[in-house]
């Protein structure tokens, strides 16, 4: 169900606007739709958004270091200092990395020449001798250079020759080969400089790791503070200026159950306000108000989209179907028991489970219980057939609830038909709520035709008999003559014919989609039995190694099968819900979640 909302409109004097919003935020119940306009040209807001991005990047970076963080209550000021320190350390780290790359490049260029001091080359130059360094291929090297320029080969690497010439300062060799300009430092000096840089880099990394250990909580608190300031700035920019910018008009939404609190607050503030019911044109935020069971399935409908304010919340209506469909798709009592047991043990052993995680764990337990029950329909348990065990209660259960493959196939189609007809009934209810009963008459007509035919097909009434034909004729008249109130009768007939074509083609395809419930359960059971066969067939005939190999194959195989089938058991019921059920129930969606303006 969707909670009833009230529209809040208020006027505030411009000098008191921001102080008023601070107090409204402390109340924490009013939802305000923020405008995107005004954001781009507001430099202060842009700076805050960029700062929030820096916090997010810093937290992600430090968490990626996999350092065990100290658990403590963070402080925003400490987080601000930590961000500055991290930025400084990262800049230094980047500078040192560039220096190291430059030095390593110089070392690579100097290594073929060996370790020598540049001072010795300078002493020779002062004495009137010039030493030049050259690189060429073996074919290019000319032996005449040895006598003409005192050429001396220093090194040979592959096909390259590294040589020097020693000439007087008045004589310059003109060789058509590569001239090597070497660094001024010696090879040993460059290596020592690199080692010193590595030491500095290690110190910085140690400081960053220490920061990751102590400051992640502080950064998260500072980040939340910035997000709060961003939301506040957006709300400030949302207000419309009136009366020569002396007054600011703002609109918001508040749950009906909280409207008295808001009235009391506004009366104390002395501001002009008005609380009214929403109109059909208003984009009202959505606040769910479901029972404990249906509330567990709200994350699933959020994966699709939230309903509009003036339409039905389908969460309570698809929840039982989804639970049943999951159990049929997984279809193994052992897998269901494993899910329930694993989650139960985790809840007993884990400490500080978040409030958002608890409903998800409960949902997994419910889906696991559904799998256990549905698995009893076929008797599958970790790929084995429970009904092959000759125990009286199992044999009695087999006679009572066990279904063969044909019956499981039929059950899937029957469940599909039930959900689709139920969806059409909800569509009629939705049309009545949104537009009025007369707009639901056409849908009700098709429900008469389809439901009466389904009952007749099940031999609950005579197919083509008087009662059946009364429902069919009445339904077709409603569907053909009153599917679009206010339009010409011939237009209605034309639209009725078009609806007939869509019903004949679409409805059959929708029902056949539910065959996947049978197919997934069957394929999962086959894969499980294959892993069992592999475990027993591939284990060596050895007293020690045999059981070990068998257990390993069994555990690994069923782990893979559980992962694949749980994934399929989530995706395919979602597909049936979002496509077949939502389509036939006329679900539009597009609502925005209620998010109160608060710290």
Separation of alpha carbons 262 and 146, rounded Å:
99
Please state, in angstroms and as integers, the Cα–Cα distance from residue 138 to each residue in 157, 176, 177, following that order: 10, 14, 11
Exposure string of 352-390, with b = 16+ CB inside 10 Å and e = fewer, is: eeeeeeeeebbbbbbbbbbbbebbbbbbbbbbbebbeee
* Helix then strand then coil, % of the chain, to nearest 5: 65, 10, 25
Q: Which two tokens stand for residue 73?
A: 């209550």
3-class DSSP state of 216:
helix
Look at residue 291 and tell me whether its pLDDT is greater than 70: yes
Look at residue 540 and tell me whether its pLDDT is greater than 80: no
Look at residue 354 and tell me whether its pLDDT is greater than 80: no
pLDDT band at 523 (very low <50, low <70, confident <90, very high): confident
* Cβ-based neighbours of 591, under 8 Å, separated by 6 or more: 284, 285, 286, 305, 306, 307, 308, 309
Separation of alpha carbons 562 and 560, rounded Å:
6
Please state, in angstroms and as integers, the Cα–Cα distance from residue 235 to each residue in 24, 303, 490, following that order: 11, 27, 52
pLDDT band at 236 (very low <50, low <70, confident <90, very high): low
pLDDT band at 324 (very low <50, low <70, confident <90, very high): very high
Q: In whole numbers, what is the pLDDT of the chain averaged over residues?
A: 82
Look at residue 259 and tell me whether its pLDDT is greater than 70: yes
Look at residue 36 and tell me whether its pLDDT is greater than 60: no
Report yes or no: 187 and 107 within 8 Å, Cβ to Cβ. yes
Q: Which two tokens stand for residue 23?
A: 């107090």
Look at residue 326 and tell me whether its pLDDT is greater than 90: yes
Q: What integer is the mean pLDDT of 528-549?
A: 80
Separation of alpha carbons 172 and 189, rounded Å:
29
pLDDT band at 590 (very low <50, low <70, confident <90, very high): confident
pLDDT band at 237 (very low <50, low <70, confident <90, very high): low
- Report pLDDT digits (tens) over 552-580: 888 888 888 889 989 999 999 999 999 88
- Report pLDDT digits (tens) over 100-130: 888 888 888 888 888 888 788 888 888 888 8
pLDDT band at 370 (very low <50, low <70, confident <90, very high): very high
What DSSP assignment string belongs to 471-507?
HHHHHHHHHHHSSSTTS-HHHHHHHHHHHHHHIIIII
**Residue whose entry in the numeric block shows the structure tokens 């690994």:** 556
Q: What integer is the mean pLDDT of 58-64?
A: 84
Lowest mean pLDDT among 41-50, 253-262, 384-393: 41-50
Q: What are the backbone angles phi and psi of residue 171, rounded to the nearest 5°?
A: -115, 120
Q: Dihedral (C-alpha) 403, 409, 415, 417: value to the nearest 10 degrees?
A: -140
The residues facing 137 across adjacent strands are 160
Report yes or no: 311 and 588 within 8 Å, Cβ to Cβ. yes
Look at residue 238 and tell me whether its pLDDT is greater than 70: no
Q: Which two tokens stand for residue 231?
A: 């939301």
Separation of alpha carbons 214 and 206, rounded Å:
12
Report yes or no: 250 and 32 within 8 Å, Cβ to Cβ. yes
Look at residue 38 and tell me whether its pLDDT is greater than 50: no
User: Count of CB atoms within 10 A of residue 419's CB?
Assistant: 25
Q: What integer is the mean pLDDT of 270-289?
A: 81
The residues facing 165 across adjacent strands are 132
* Cβ-based neighbours of 475, under 8 Å, separated by 6 or more: 444, 445, 446, 447, 448, 449, 452
Q: What integer is the mean pLDDT of 53-67?
A: 83
pLDDT band at 64 (very low <50, low <70, confident <90, very high): confident
- Report pLDDT digits (tens) over 168-208: 877 778 888 888 888 878 888 888 888 888 888 888 888 88
Q: Cα(first)–Cα(last) distance of the chain, in Å?
A: 27
Cα 303 off chain centre by = 9
3-class DSSP state of 13:
strand
Q: What integer is the mean pLDDT of 340-345?
A: 91
Q: What integer is the mean pLDDT of 38-51?
A: 65
Exposure string of 573-591, with b = 16+ CB inside 10 Å and e = fewer, is: bbebbbebbbebbbbeeeb
Position 489 scores a pLDDT of 65
Report yes or no: 566 and 408 within 8 Å, Cβ to Cβ. no
Which one, of 95, 88, 92, 98, lies nearest residue 54 by Cα?
A: 88
Conformation bin of residue 53: beta by default, left when phi > 0, alpha when psi is -120 to 50: alpha
Helices 405-434 & 315-330, crossing angle to 10 degrees? Answer: 170
Look at residue 37 and tell me whether its pLDDT is greater than 50: no
- Report pLDDT digits (tens) over 123-168: 888 888 888 899 999 888 888 888 888 889 999 988 899 999 988 8
**Residue whose entry in the numeric block shows the structure tokens 């339009």:** 487
Please state, in angstroms and as integers, the Cα–Cα distance from residue 458 to each residue in 452, 464, 501, following that order: 10, 13, 24
Q: What are the backbone angles phi and psi of residue 313, rounded to the nearest 5°?
A: -85, 115
Position 447 scores a pLDDT of 81
Q: In the chain, what percentage of residues exceed pLDDT 70? A: 92
* Cβ-based neighbours of 84, under 8 Å, separated by 6 or more: none
Separation of alpha carbons 439 and 428, rounded Å:
8
What DSSP assignment string belongs to 417-448?
HHHHHHHHHHHHHHHHHHT-GGGGHHHHHHHH
């Amino acid at each position: 169900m969707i909670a009833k909302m009230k529209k809040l409109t208020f006027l505030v004097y411009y000098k008191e606007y921001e102080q008023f919003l601070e107090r409204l935020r402390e109340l924490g119940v009013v939802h305000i739709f923020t405008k995107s306009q005004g954001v781009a040209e507001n430099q202060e807001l842009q700076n805050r958004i960029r700062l929030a991005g820096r916090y997010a990047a810093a937290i992600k970076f430090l968490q990626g270091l996999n350092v065990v963080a100290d658990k403590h209550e963070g402080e925003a000021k400490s987080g601000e200092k930590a961000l500055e320190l991290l930025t400084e350390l990262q800049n230094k780290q980047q500078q040192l990395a560039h220096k190291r790359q430059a030095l390593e490049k110089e070392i690579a260029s100097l290594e073929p020449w060996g370790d020598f001091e540049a001072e010795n080359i300078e002493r020779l130059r002062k004495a009137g001798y010039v030493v030049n360094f050259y690189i060429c291929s073996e074919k290019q090297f000319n032996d005449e250079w040895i006598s003409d320029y005192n050429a001396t080969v220093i090194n040979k690497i592959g096909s390259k020759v590294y040589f020097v010439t020693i000439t007087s300062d008045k004589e310059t060799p003109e060789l058509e080969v590569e001239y090597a300009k070497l660094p001024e430092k010696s090879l040993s000096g460059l290596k020592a400089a690199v080692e010193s840089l590595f030491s500095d880099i290690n110190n910085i990394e140690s400081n960053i790791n220490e920061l990751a250990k102590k400051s992640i909580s502080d950064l998260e608190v500072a980040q939340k503070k910035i997000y709060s300031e961003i939301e506040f700035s957006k709300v400030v920019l949302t207000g419309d200026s009136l009366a020569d910018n002396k007054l600011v008009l703002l609109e918001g939404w508040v749950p009906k159950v909280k409207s008295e609190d808001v009235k009391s607050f506004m009366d104390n503030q002395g501001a002009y306000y008005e609380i009214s019911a929403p109109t059909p044109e208003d984009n009202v935020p959505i606040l769910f108000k479901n029972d404990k069971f249906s509330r567990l399935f709200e994350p699933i409908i959020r994966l699709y989209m939230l309903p509009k304010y003036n339409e039905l919340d389908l969460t309570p209506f698809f929840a039982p179907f989804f639970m049943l469909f999951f159990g049929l798709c997984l279809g193994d009592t052992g897998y269901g028991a494993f899910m329930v047991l694993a989650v139960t043990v985790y809840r007993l052993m884990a400490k500080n489970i978040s409030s958002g995680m608890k409903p998800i764990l409960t949902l997994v337990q419910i889906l696991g219980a559904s799998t256990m029950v549905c698995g009893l329909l076929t008797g599958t348990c970790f790929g084995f057939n429970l009904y092959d065990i000759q125990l009286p209660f199992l044999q009695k259960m087999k006679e009572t609830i066990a279904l063969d493959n044909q019956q499981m196939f039929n059950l899937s189609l029957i469940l599909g038909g039930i959900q689709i007809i139920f969806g059409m009934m909800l569509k009629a209810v939705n049309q009545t709520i949104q537009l009025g009963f007369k707009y639901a008459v056409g849908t009700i007509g098709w429900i008469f035709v389809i439901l009466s035919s389904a009952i007749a097909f099940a031999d609950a009434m005579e197919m083509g008999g008087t009662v059946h034909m009364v429902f069919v004729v009445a339904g077709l008249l409603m569907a053909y003559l009153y599917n679009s109130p206010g339009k010409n009768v011939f237009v209605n007939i034309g639209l009725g014919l078009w609806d007939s074509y869509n019903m004949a083609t679409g409805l059959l395809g929708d029902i056949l989609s539910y065959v996947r419930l049978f197919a997934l359960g069957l394929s999962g059971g086959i894969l499980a039995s294959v892993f069992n066969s592999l475990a027993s067939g591939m284990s060596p005939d050895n007293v020690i190694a045999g059981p070990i190999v068998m257990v390993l194959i069994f555990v690994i195989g069923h782990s893979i099968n559980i992962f694949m089938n749980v994934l399929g058991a989530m995706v395919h019921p979602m597909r049936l819900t979002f496509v077949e059920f939502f389509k036939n129930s006329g679900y539009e969606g597009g609502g925005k979640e209620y998010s109160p303006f608060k710290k």
